[in-house]
Amino acid sequence: MDRPGVPFARRLDEYGDAPALITSDGTVTYRELAERVETGARQLGDIRRLVCICGANDVEVIVAYLAALAAGHPVLLAPGDNPGSIDAAIAAYRPDVVVRRDHDGRTAVEELCAGSTHVLHPDLALLLSTSGSTGSPKLVRLSHRNVQSNAEAIAEYLDIRSTDRAATTLPMHYCYGLSVIHSHLLRGAALVLTTCSVADAEFWELFRSHGGTGFAGVPYTFDLLDRVGFDTLDLPDLRYVTQAGGRLAPDRVQTYADLGRRRGWDFFVMYGQTEATARMAYLPPELADTHPQTIGRPIPGGSFRIEPLIDAPGDTGELVYSGPNVMLGYAEGPEDLRLGDVLGGELRTGDLARCREDGLYEVVGRRSRFAKIFGLRIDLALVESTLAEHGLRSCCVGGADELIVAVELGGTVDGAREVAARAAGLPTGAVRVRAVSELPRTATGKPDYSAVTALARRPEPAQSACPDGRADAAALRALYADILNCPNVTDDSSFVSSGGDSLSYVRMSLQLEQLLGYLPENWHTTRIGDFEPHCGRRRPSVETNVLLRAVAIILIAGSHIHLFTLLGGAHVLLGVAGYNFARFHLSSAGRTDRVRHTLVSVGRIALPSMLWLGCVIALTGEYRITSAFLLNGILGPPGWTIEWRYWFVEAIVYILLVVAALLCIPVVDRTERTYPFLFPMGLVAVGLLTRYGLIDIDDSRNRILTASVVFWFFALGWAAAKATTVWHRMCVTVAIVATVPGFFFGETRREIIVIGGLCLLVWLRSVPCPTVVSRVAGVLASASLYIYLTHFQVYLPLRDDHPWLALALSLLVGIMYWQAVTFVLRLGRRGALRSAAPGNLTGRRPLPFREPEFRRVRPG
């Protein structure tokens, strides 16, 4: 008997050398994909087993997924970006094989048992969560026929062609995102694999350069498109845009349908549920402008009927769908994997709908979207739509004898309460409204009603025992998105994982402390969802590294102005730079992401520096052109000249580039992860080779300004950040006290300042101080690089006659330049989206592929 499997996954080779998977690194053809799938199927073995795959829009993961489908192994698809959900899925269903990324970014196949511990129904092909997260053990059981038939139906009504190129805008583990993969591979079309958001310039550059013809979006996706000016983008190859995953307001459906008609692409509004594999209905583009409130007609091969309900109007009832894509049933645990079809191809959607005279179906509510309050049956969807008519975006849930409304900032709480009360027919006292900066959403962009319910359990702001410390997750997400210019912030995001670095760290820490009422320890690596508000008063404090940056820049500028002679601040800043590098760049992310993050930070240091120096040279001719390119430390001139004023900037850039190059090497990356404290201590030892002249460096006073010589300060700061025990801190302290003396040619005061600053970094995480001091320190620390860049041009004309004025203006100009750069960076993201020129396909590069590592993990 032939093993079951999904047909399209077995027929990939029919499309020959046509492109199948496209990334920024190259292309995999269908022939190559088929060969890799066949190899993966052999690797999974002949015994039919339950395979848990951690989904990702990645070549190796998709190969493993297709290999399982082709060979007939049932797949439990888990969210690859959520370790907690992965662990929950493994614990609940005990898969025989797990496919996921390891610390090196490789896709590893972990064989948990040689055979299978499950009885698997022969029709079972795929297990998906109904919510897009496997945090709950309840999964949807889909058959090979479900997957194949839904892919065929979608490909038919979208008219997917072999020349199409669809971008992966949605997670693979989400049924909508997965349906894009299925339907396009079925027709021999190509997938443009990316994890970028539609709000990222990189997404549109990749989409244009590879002739992208289509992409999918949930309602939140279209919010992002509005923000980036999608209507102004030049997308010459775009052929269709699809929308599902929740109701899009009719006026916005009309807006996008009209935009598509003017620009030459089709806009498909679609309706579906995971229980129907993905899609049940679609609205043809030609009807979107005139019937935007409807879900359209059933997909090919499917049908609807309206089942009357006692408490619903005559023409309204529950929408019931029939078709070959209806699931086999639910699974509550591994024992349910032996079950076959328990639904008979019919699905009760739970949606209230009606069939119009023109044959189009319109969903008017949700059976579960009603609440009983004071004996009244409240239509929550009606309340939300009424609020929307008043310009208020909201989510509503029913509580215990009250209506709970989360409303985005933009209107008064009292105004929203009155509108909601009138729409629900309730007294205003029975409506509780919470204003949030952004409505809570699930990872797939849908409204998170459980999070809205959780809002109601928090004390009202006016009654809170700690009003300054109450912050909801939505407010935190909005804060992170604003400061880090990162729209894809979720409760699982942290400062580090969202791209934070030392340049944005200070501003974030100050605003986070204001929002929470305190600054949690290790907040930079803490998930947003794990933050807890603090009740009670805490003594205000400032983080030591922030205070050191502020003090150091004042010492640098003041010493240059000759107000005092307290040198050593720049070398302390080198240690702080190493400290922050270790905290912000050495996360648990893969090697490539670490290096990319480091290079982005290099750019944020180098580009403003080069711009400033270039302008100074153009206007005054004061420096050699090599300074504008930060090459003075490499090309000279030898000996002290005014070009060496910017040695610190060059040293930081050189050091970060060298460290990024080192971490590109797999063995170095693995060593650092395995020995996080010993590794930087080893770098300290390497740095001492130049510090003590064991490797010959110019003996002039420029020694103390040369990147290769001062590297050991950076490594000491790195080690300080990784010192987690008293013994570790003692080792770093001994290294500081033993190696700094004698470095500055007998300048004892300078040595004391450097030793003191670095030791503070080792032993104190924060320093108590008045709030006003922490605020001032935060501003100076954030602007420290820019003050260093600009102060030479500010203080020199004023140093002799007005030294204190020179210092004040030096700080002020640096702060202004910092603010200007920050403003430009924010604008640059949108500008890049609008102005980036489309690339050209000049040929296909084969995409490097590594066979997934196969290892057996002993049970228990």
| Tens digit of each residue's pLDDT (9 = 90 or more) over 305-320 | 999 887 666 788 899 9
pLDDT confidence band for 415 (50 / 70 / 90)? confident
The more confidently predicted of residues 130 and 798 is 798
pLDDT digits (tens, 9 = 90+) for 612-625: 999 999 999 989 99
Helix (H, G, I), strand (E, B) or coil at 741: coil
**Six token digits for residue 505:** 């760290």
Q: What is the pLDDT of residue 825?
A: 74
pLDDT confidence band for 536 (50 / 70 / 90)? very low
pLDDT confidence band for 836 (50 / 70 / 90)? very low
pLDDT digits (tens, 9 = 90+) for 36-85: 999 999 999 889 999 999 999 999 999 999 999 999 999 999 988 777 77
Residue 523 has pLDDT above 60, yes or no: yes
- Once rounded to an integer, what is the mean pLDDT over residues 477-497? 70
Side-by-side strand order, sheet with 266-271: 26-29, 19-23, 190-192, 165-167, 214-217, 240-243, 266-271, 281-283, 297-298
pTM above 0.75, yes or no: no
H/E segment holding residue 158? helix 144-158
Local structure of residue 296 (DSSP, 8 states) = B
Give strand pairing partners of 406: 395, 434
> What's phi and psi for 192, nearest 5 deg?
-95, 100
Cα separation of 489 and 689, whole Å?
Answer: 44
H/E segment holding residue 371? strand 370-373
pLDDT confidence band for 397 (50 / 70 / 90)? confident
- Once rounded to an integer, what is the mean pLDDT over residues 315-328? 94
Q: Which residue has the tokens 């208020």?
A: 392
Are residues 79 and 132 in contact, defined by beta-carbon separation less than 8 angstroms?
yes
The more confidently predicted of residues 695 and 16 is 16
Tell me whether residue 793 is exposed, middle or buried, using C-beta atoms within 10 angstroms of its C-beta: 0 to 12, 13 to 18, 19 or more.
middle
For residue 629, the tally of other CB atoms under 10 A from its CB is 16
Q: What is the pLDDT of residue 535?
A: 46
Residues 6 or more apart whose Cβ sits within 8 Å of residue 582: 680, 717, 718, 721, 722
Residues 6 or more apart whose Cβ sits within 8 Å of residue 634: none
Residue 757 has pLDDT above 90, yes or no: yes
Q: What is the pLDDT of residue 471?
A: 44
The more confidently predicted of residues 65 and 775 is 65
Smallest CA-to-CA distance from 451 within 440, 437, 436 is with: 440
> What's phi and psi for 682, nearest 5 deg?
-65, -35
Residue 186 zone, left/alpha/beta (φ > 0; ψ -120 to 50; rest): alpha
Residues 6 or more apart whose Cβ sits within 8 Å of residue 755: 736, 737, 740, 741
Taken in order of first residue, the domains within the chain and their CATH numbers are 7-361 (3.40.50.12780), 374-457 (3.30.300.30), 473-538 (1.10.1200.10), 543-790 (no CATH)
